[in-house]
């Protein structure tokens, strides 16, 4: 039998002195199995993941579950509720510009300290269990910093505390104007076939502050230490993914069902759904290394039509954007074209026609391959 | 022969002490004819009008023009350049919230003062000419207020000073997520057939601060005074329109051609294009009185899918929006529907899925008729 | 015996679907007496009134009260919690620019409708009671608008519904960088001596959307109708004040005691504190008509030192501000002075050194007199 | 003879397609001497440095100069001109939250590459000259990144390109509500006595993105490589400082003279002013290591009075702040105190009374010593 419990976790307090909390849904089965952690909307304008979690909870309640699935929708109640004009200023703390998705905990030194205590004869399940407890304690210690922590970091660490018990972490995001793509750690490349995502980015063991990295970097680093010390393979298989499921500022219930189905496939593959028959779709999947995932910045300011659409292949030299120059509307300099510097596939583009110089116009796959 | 002149008008100065100016394009023919004033982007995120003006200038340069056409694209360089997150905070002055489109000049008392000086024998062309000079002087006097004026009002009056010589004023706007619609003064209802706009809103002689009203209210009011004093009709035929051409934050060159073509039809009908053969399209046009153009506000906060699309007819009781409730994802209160309170056609909806209570969810035509 | 009750009133719902409420404190005595309504922070950055209410509640709990005192601190939980950088974006709704202090209800026609039903023999207490009930119903009707209302208006009306029972309403505000001043309706000029405010602005019977006006305009208008109909004086004596108690973004507990003492004097004078011995201070009070309360706007942009201090008399020609011009630092145009156009007393100035053209640099008393 | 030249450097283009530039003032003497680079307002709200540069230029024009002094006031025209409410949103790019002071260039690997080419017999002036050219080329290469760069980084690199020729770089900043303090690299500790700054923070050879670090880290790193390779001392003596000169959003011409005088002392000490007699003040100077410069974060939200003043010594246990709790105004929980966790001196505090949890309430010196 599957039991659902719902609680609320306080993650911040506002200037009126009121606590701001997030809902935490836990679905647990009688059968042992992995722990999966899924959150959405750490960037406040990226709301579609909330719908995906809605569909997941609706579906999972009716299923036999092995292990536990923890779901935290709308996990950033501050970011979701900052409006600036009609849009949501959800990417960073409006006080200081801190990206809401860069304050998770990782410390390579602390992994090394632990690795040094492991004995060659220790079995992998023991190591896993001990490291998890150790890492949880590290997060607690960070949270208890004597001089305190910034808001984004407090929020991140409280969420990470929930996620630390998980074998897989799914962080649900959206791009500005975007097509579906997913970030997958290189060591787990095969997971690309377990989701229904047409575009996959493979990322190395480098920590830049996000939850997926904060999830796998400690284990990956531990594994490398142990393999180097003891000269044999270790597989902890703790993994984190960032799923980009279309455009920010938009909710679509029907699209959410597609992504929920995709995640159910992954859960089934991980053994969470012993009675489920979820199979990932036969589809073309395209992959790039993170170093081939490029950002095209502007070196001009102006007003832009985005001609190249996210998800559509663009050949070198093809027009990607057309720019209006309001001071030259009477002559041929009134508009000019931006062309593709190489073959590429746009994943996303800037959501406003008005851009300053130095704007991230497009993010694109280059040197991509079918996988 | 058509001559084009381009100049720049300073409308503001920034905190670095630098002047901010707007381009003013003037197309003039040898043949006498009406003066038409067209501006775009007074709301900084509503940029599509700039493309329309681009297409107009490109087309008009090749045509014989009777009279003069004055075009001011990107007429609000402050509003266009305030970013808040990736979007443009273009609707109001970020310092004080003043709507950039509410500070034009109108003063019913001053119209009456002028009307009192008119003699029954004065001919209408003389009256027109004298009133225009009088009204221009009123605007100058306002601009020269001894204690100064707010930024939005300064900007508005400097633009209105350009527009005061015009027989018709076209103010190019966009809605948030929107379909094409146009505001037409009731007395000029027939103009609805001269544009290719499927949706028309007829507005009364009431001044609420916008440029179209600031254009026609003085003349309409003058007309009413004179008709009441002298018991016979006066037609000054000075008119202003607000054209809403789709969604903000978006530029589409091809859509701009459609609207430019629509405006060329109007210019032809006004006699500006003696050699042109522009004919408005045969199409269904739907009209409402302003009092039947309703705003549907939320009395809840949540995350919304906009099911009803701008421009599509909705029957009473049909689902317009579906709302997600992140605290009840495990039960049937996890989502709920907003239905249409009567038959209606949405013109626009809020551009973000995240809404607080008291948000303008939709603006809709009710009690509409074909015209 | 004085009883204190505390409740919470929901005034909005955020995008996470969470209700936002305000605390309502009611202090009530056994003895009959007037009802007084006091709120603070309708503009979210103007927080000092919350401290004043703190001191008032602390003091009033120990006193015998005649009638009832209703206190609503932090009455705008939306505005208080919108940060833009380190400051509070508290003056207007960040979605649409609507000033949080302009959506209260008044309708001169509805006053007239009521006035027409009054009979010459009706006694004033009956009229007062009936009009209060009538007006409360008007506010309810407005709140129940079938298509809904904007957020600021919903908030305003819910507060006004609490305030409608009051004989006096005190709306606690702050200026940007400001000295103490108070807005008093002309008909209640004498109240100037009941508070310890050195600067008083006398305002006419004109509604511009604020709570003080929304409080007294209906009664003042009713009074004028009845006096004109029946040719004799009517005194309803329902009054509203806006108290500006220094600078926004600042809390000072000791300054709050000064303003609390000032308000206690007023409460005593109104008969709310039968055992109190609060006496307003002997002090110089300066008054102006609202038409002599001027705003000095800039017609330049630049960086400014505010030389004239709020509350200090400035003679015509004296330097008020010194402006830096970053492009001319090597010559005498590197800075220039702004001088007073007449004798004046600044009440407040803009809180940032960086100003665009069209900025409210100072608001000043001109033509002021001792009262 | 001292010659002044003034030019303008384009650093960005806005959405209207207009170039935004910064003024560059160069004061040059006939006599050889060091090059000094001084900029102000990279954080747009920190404007007082512009006044300091004004006073410097006014003073330096009349003096004999050895070498060259380059001054760039208002060096961030984007940040200075983003208003959000009445304040300046000047700390980060409003599009993406990027701090305007974190995108300068440093690459330890590239320093090492250069160090490896140095020969033991190379003389230090040659090394200095070659490394400067090499480093300038590295910056150019970065600026020419084939896919472009973000706006903040473009701005930073264009400024750094000007600064790369300097022997000393002074970056003029302000704190939120702040007292004077200065960041000094540890290796140049003695420079503390050359300025009139009462509070000094000594920073290690760690790059975190700011201009002072970007100035000295390459040279410091080069020095360490060479000393380690060749076993003898190298002194390049290229140094960068961040000067925090009081509070943001404020301009004071008289305070600017104090800081200009302080900087003139430093210039004299560096040999730029051969005929000057500028002597630093006899004064108490207090220093801390960067690791003892602590940030006190809140773990609550509320409204705050800042009791401890920047620059004043606070003993352990002393009240630093008093917090109002609007839901408990009727009891003793209505306010509570924040006390100092150890002896400290606040340098700055948050500029708004309204704080969320996770706010930087104070930044303070701990473990400080007189120097």
* Nearest residue of chain D to residue C77 (CA atoms): D326
Q: pLDDT value at position C61?
A: 95
* Nearest residue of chain C to residue D84 (CA atoms): C84
Residue C256 DSSP SS3: helix
Residue A108 pLDDT > 90, yes or no? yes
Picking from B250, B283, B316, the residue at the C-terminal end of a domain is: B283
Determine, for residues B51 and A324 on separate chains, whether the beta-carbon distance falls below 8 Å. Answer: yes
B148 touches chain C (CB under 8 A): yes
Interface mutation vs chain A, best among D15, D298, D324, most A CBs within 10 Å: D15
Kindly indicate the confidence band of residue A280, based on its pLDDT and cuts at 50, 70 and 90: very high
Residue C297, φ and ψ in degrees, nearest 5: -95, 155
A366 touches chain D (CB under 8 A): no
Angstroms from D359 CA to nearest CA on chain A:
6
Angstroms from B150 CA to nearest CA on chain C:
4
Picking from C252, C283, C314, the residue at the C-terminal end of a domain is: C283
Among A18, A98, A147, beta carbon nearest to D295: A147
Residue B186 DSSP SS3: helix
> Cα A269 from chain centroid?
19
| Residues D93 and D78: beta-carbon distance below 8 Å | yes
Instruction: Quote the crossing angle between the two packed helices C108-115 and C124-143, to the nearest 10°.
Output: 140
Determine, for residues A329 and B86 on separate chains, whether the beta-carbon distance falls below 8 Å. Answer: no
The DSSP result for A161-223, as a single string, is: HHHTT-SEEEEEEEESEE--EEEEEGGGGGGGGGS--SEEEEE-S---S-HHHHHHHHHHHHH
Q: What is the mean pLDDT of residues A184-211?
A: 97
> Cα D131 from chain centroid?
23
**In chain C, which among 97-126 make CB contacts under 8 A with chain B?**
97-99
Domain shared by C152 and C209, yes or no: yes
Determine, for residues C326 and B150 on separate chains, whether the beta-carbon distance falls below 8 Å. Answer: no
The DSSP result for D151-194, as a single string, is: HHHHHHHHHHHHHTT-SEEEEEEEESEE--EEEEEGGGGGGGGG
| Residues A260 and B364: beta-carbon distance below 8 Å | no
D8 touches chain B (CB under 8 A): no
Q: pLDDT value at position D276?
A: 82
Q: pLDDT value at position B276?
A: 82
Kindly indicate the confidence band of residue C1, based on its pLDDT and cuts at 50, 70 and 90: confident
Among A16, A149, A360, beta carbon nearest to D358: A149
Residue D100 DSSP SS3: coil
Count contacts between B and C (CB, < 8 Å). 134
Domain span holding position A309: 291-370
Domain shared by C188 and C264, yes or no: yes
B324 touches chain A (CB under 8 A): yes
Angstroms from C245 CA to nearest CA on chain D:
15
**In chain B, which among 221-250 make CB contacts under 8 A with chain C?**
none
CA distance B223 to B219: 6
Domain shared by A170 and A242, yes or no: yes
C335 touches chain D (CB under 8 A): yes
Q: pLDDT value at position A1?
A: 75
Residue D345, φ and ψ in degrees, nearest 5: -130, 115
CA distance D94 to B278: 45
Interface mutation vs chain A, best among B46, B85, B255, most A CBs within 10 Å: B85
CA distance D226 to D235: 10
Q: pLDDT value at position C276?
A: 82
Angstroms from B273 CA to nearest CA on chain D:
30
* Nearest residue of chain C to residue D334 (CA atoms): C54
D153 touches chain A (CB under 8 A): yes
C83 touches chain D (CB under 8 A): yes
**In chain A, which among 28-47 make CB contacts under 8 A with chain B?**
44-45, 47
| Residues B65 and B2: beta-carbon distance below 8 Å | yes
Domain shared by C271 and C297, yes or no: no
Tokens of A13: 């307090």
Residue C371 pLDDT > 80, yes or no? yes
Please write the tens of the pLDDT for every residue from D264-282: 999 999 999 999 889 999 9
Angstroms from D134 CA to nearest CA on chain A:
25
Segments of chain B scoring below 70 in pLDDT? none
Instruction: Indicate the length of chain A as a whole number.
Output: 371
**Which chains form contacts with chain B, at 3 or more CB pairs under 8 Å?**
A, C, D
Please write the tens of the pLDDT for every residue from C208-263: 999 999 999 999 999 999 999 999 999 999 999 999 999 999 999 999 999 999 99
- Chain A contacts of D16, Cβ < 8 Å? 301-302, 326
Among C86, C91, C351, beta carbon nearest to D176: C86
Tokens of D230: 């060749």
**Which chains form contacts with chain A, at 3 or more CB pairs under 8 Å?**
B, C, D
Biggest CA pair distance of chain A? 79
Domain shared by A278 and A295, yes or no: no
The DSSP result for D231-292, as a single string, is: SS------EEEEEEEEETT---HHHHHHHHHHHHHHHHHTTS-TT----PPP---EEEEGGG
| Residues B40 and B73: beta-carbon distance below 8 Å | yes
Domain shared by A246 and A355, yes or no: no
Domain shared by D302 and D318, yes or no: yes
Determine, for residues D352 and C86 on separate chains, whether the beta-carbon distance falls below 8 Å. Answer: yes
Interface mutation vs chain B, best among C97, C149, C321, most B CBs within 10 Å: C97
**Which chains form contacts with chain C, at 3 or more CB pairs under 8 Å?**
A, B, D
**In chain A, which among 267-296 make CB contacts under 8 A with chain D?**
294-296
CATH number of the domain that C300 lies in? 2.40.50.100
Kindly indicate the confidence band of residue A276, based on its pLDDT and cuts at 50, 70 and 90: confident
- Chain B contacts of D84, Cβ < 8 Å? 84, 94
Domain shared by C348 and C262, yes or no: no
B90 touches chain A (CB under 8 A): yes
Number of domains into which chain B is organized: 2
Picking from B283, B308, B323, the residue at the C-terminal end of a domain is: B283
D12 touches chain A (CB under 8 A): yes
Domain shared by D278 and D298, yes or no: no
Task: Please list the alpha-helical segments (H only) found in chain A.
Answer: 48-60, 108-115, 124-143, 151-163, 211-230, 253-269
- Chain D contacts of B83, Cβ < 8 Å? 82, 94-95
Domain shared by C333 and C296, yes or no: yes
Domain shared by A304 and A279, yes or no: no
CA distance C99 to C45: 13
Domain shared by D327 and D270, yes or no: no
Determine, for residues C15 and A84 on separate chains, whether the beta-carbon distance falls below 8 Å. Answer: no
D185 touches chain B (CB under 8 A): no
Residue D200, φ and ψ in degrees, nearest 5: -125, 135
Q: pLDDT value at position C155?
A: 98
Angstroms from A325 CA to nearest CA on chain B:
9
- Which pTM was predicted? 0.97
B308 touches chain A (CB under 8 A): no
Segments of chain D scoring below 70 in pLDDT? none
| Residues C85 and D176: beta-carbon distance below 8 Å | no
CATH number of the domain that A204 lies in? 3.40.630.10
- Chain A contacts of C95, Cβ < 8 Å? 83, 85-86
Q: pLDDT value at position D1?
A: 75
Q: Which residues of chain D form beta strands (DSSP E)?
A: 3-13, 19-28, 31-40, 66-72, 83-84, 87-88, 168-175, 177-178, 181-185, 199-203, 239-247, 286-289, 293-297, 302-306, 319-324, 335-339, 345-349, 354-355, 360-365, 369-370
Kindly indicate the confidence band of residue C277, based on its pLDDT and cuts at 50, 70 and 90: confident
Determine, for residues C83 and A82 on separate chains, whether the beta-carbon distance falls below 8 Å. Answer: yes
Residue A258 pLDDT > 90, yes or no? yes
| Residues C185 and C220: beta-carbon distance below 8 Å | yes
Angstroms from B176 CA to nearest CA on chain A:
9
- Chain C contacts of D43, Cβ < 8 Å? none
């Amino acid at each position: 039998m599957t039991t659902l419990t719902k609680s609320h976790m306080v993650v911040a307090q506002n200037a009126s002195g009121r606590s701001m909390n997030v809902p935490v849904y836990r679905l647990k089965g009688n059968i042992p199995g992995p722990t999966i952690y899924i959150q959405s909307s750490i960037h406040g304008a990226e709301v579609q993941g909330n719908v995906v979690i809605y569909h997941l909870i609706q579906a999972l309640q009716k299923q036999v579950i092995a292990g536990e699935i923890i779901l935290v929708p709308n996990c950033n109640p501050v970011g979701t509720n900052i409006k600036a004009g009609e849009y949501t200023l959800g990417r960073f703390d409006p006080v200081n510009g801190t990206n809401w998705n860069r304050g998770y905990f990782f410390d390579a030194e602390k992994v090394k300290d632990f690795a040094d205590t492991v004995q060659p004869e220790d079995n992998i399940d023991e190591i896993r269990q001990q490291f998890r407890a150790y890492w949880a304690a590290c997060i607690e210690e960070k949270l208890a910093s004597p001089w305190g922590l910034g808001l984004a970091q407090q929020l991140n660490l409280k969420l990470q505390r929930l996620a630390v018990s998980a074998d897989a972490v799914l962080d649900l995001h959206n791009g500005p104007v975007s097509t579906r793509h997913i970030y997958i750690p290189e060591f787990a490349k095969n997971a690309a076939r377990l989701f229904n995502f047409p575009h996959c980015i493979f990322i190395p063991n480098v920590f830049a502050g996000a939850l997926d990295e904060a999830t796998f970097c400690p284990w990956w680093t531990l594994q490398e230490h142990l393999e180097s010390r003891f000269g044999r393979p270790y597989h902890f298989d703790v993994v984190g993914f960032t799923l980009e499921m279309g455009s920010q500022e938009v909710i679509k219930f029907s699209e959410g069902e597609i992504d929920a189905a995709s995640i159910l496939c992954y859960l089934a593959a991980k053994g969470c759904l012993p009675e489920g028959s979820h199979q990932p779709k036969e589809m073309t999947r395209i992959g790039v290394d993170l170093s081939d995932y490029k950002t095209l910045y502007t070196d001009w300011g102006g007003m832009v039509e985005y001609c190249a659409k996210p998800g559509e292949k663009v050949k070198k030299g093809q027009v990607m954007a057309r720019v209006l120059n309001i001071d030259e509307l009477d002559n041929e300099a009134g508009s000019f074209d931006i062309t593709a510097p190489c073959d590429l596939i746009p994943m996303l583009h800037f959501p406003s026609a008005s851009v300053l110089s130095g704007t991230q116009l497009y993010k694109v796959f280059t040197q991509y391959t079918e996988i």
